[in-house]
Structure 1
Amino acid sequence: MDRNAKIFVAGHRGMVGSAIVRRLESAGYDNVLVRDRSELDLADQAAVFAFLKSERPDYIFLAAAKVGGIQANNTARGDFIYQNLIIEANVIHGAHRAGVDRLLFLGSSCIYPRDCPQPIKEEYLLTGPLEETNEPYAIAKIAGIKLCESYNAQYGTGYVSVMPTNLYGANDNYDLASSHVLPALIRKAHEAKERGERELVVWGSGAPMREFLYVDDMADACVFVMESGMRAGIFNVGTGRDITIRELAETVMDVVGFAGTIVFDRSKPDGTPRKLLDVDRLKENGWTARTGLKEGIALAYADYLDRFGG
């Protein structure tokens, strides 16, 4: 990418979008275009089409989405499928209408079947049933991937999709009603320490295995894909290593400095038993994650303290 190219980052206020903006600016890209929701509602088709036609960016990073943890996904099912469908349809079709040749779409590892072989390869998409608790969100993300593939096939555009594993880091969501597991554990462990409690309650059995990627590594992968000139395809983005939720909770407690006992609330759902991505496709193209889990959790906890106080 030319350092002077106009680059639109959709969703720049979110964890992923803000990390992409940081990565672009640190690399010397000086024409990064952003709009918050008060300036541009991505669910408003006419507004999105007019904006893209007027600005005509050279590249688009589509990081805008409605996201949340297992409880939010399972209870606000209509919101998750509708809002994500409408945002991606507006931006992808609007990009085509405006003549934008290069676009990167941020998907999710939940697109893959619940019980597919591990580690998960990109070709496992649509080979089995999805995890029920986040099926609407997953279907919306699959639709975004297929939009990119279909526009490439019909119009010759260069729209590529990346599938991140579980992300965490700076600017994460720590609302216990809608957050993902790692930020929720950071907040719960911190508050338990502050209150002098002796137990940390963790949802489920602690047995499911999950892979976690620091968000700045994800942003680095996104910029790498665009700079490398990849014009099509799906690329998993992760570390290639996973741990149990129990081990994750223990690591968070160690970083936070909480020496209590873990209590598992087995009345809560576990979700997918295991979700480890095969990251060989991107690795073979020259990219690997650099931030270790404990190092990343320490960075995330520092961000939490900075934002919400110690």
Structure 2
Amino acid sequence: MPIDVVTRNNVKISGSGEQTIILAHGFGCNQSVWRFMVPLLEEKYRVIQFDYVGCGNSDFSAYKEARYSGLEGYALDIIEICDALSLTQSIFVGHSVSCTIGWIVAQQRPELFSNMVAICPSPCFLNIDAQYQGGFEKSTLEKLIDLMRKDFIGWGNYLAPLIAKESILHPESQSKSEGTVLNEILTTFCSNDVIYSKPFASATFLSDYRHLLPQVTTPNLVLQSANDVLVATSIGQYTQQNLPNAMLEIIEASGHCLHLSHPMHVVTCLNAFVEEHTAVLTISQ
């Protein structure tokens, strides 16, 4: 029996635009993190949201440790979603590690994406040498990941403030029950199961995909927060410089989650980027 990918990955489709946009959430999250951006996108695009296997409301019975021990397994989720829905030349929007996952897809199947938007990306979170400082020593990250097994709540309480910093949720979408991005991330992290989160964390924080950047020819827009404890602006600059066809915009914001704190700004940048590249493509043809 063929795999029901739409059910497996909890795929949601909305909007009625001619162009399709795929929203890929970051580590420890699920598709709910896009809720402020989706209403801004639906009038112009056909919007695809999903949960990676092991996250959100995906089918956890489909989880295979060997497949999801590396980012290639999560990239395969996206490839299979695109194939199941007959998608090509879609706009891909990834947050954090999903930027890298999207680059893996673009390198393997370049026809799937016409444009890519990378929100606070990092091809490597490790401090490698004097030329590349990803932000963290390997020993520190290994201890942090090991903490997940021993004290999952304690791990969340340590990592969530780094991700959120001092960001607040988008004020126009905020209700009395919603506070800071920190509360959002903590709630999401603590609702996950360490069985699935720990391998994803290892694949996210201990990998090095810098070599992949020069192989991705799809036009990229890199959106970087000016004050991101997890990913320094120098990493955004490194990413833009090593992608063959990329633009960088640094947004005056704090925290790692621009799609939650500054959704209108992200969508404005996205629309301008897509329109510019659509115009260039039209002229070249």
The TM-score with structure 2 as length reference comes to: 0.39
The TM-score with structure 1 as length reference comes to: 0.36
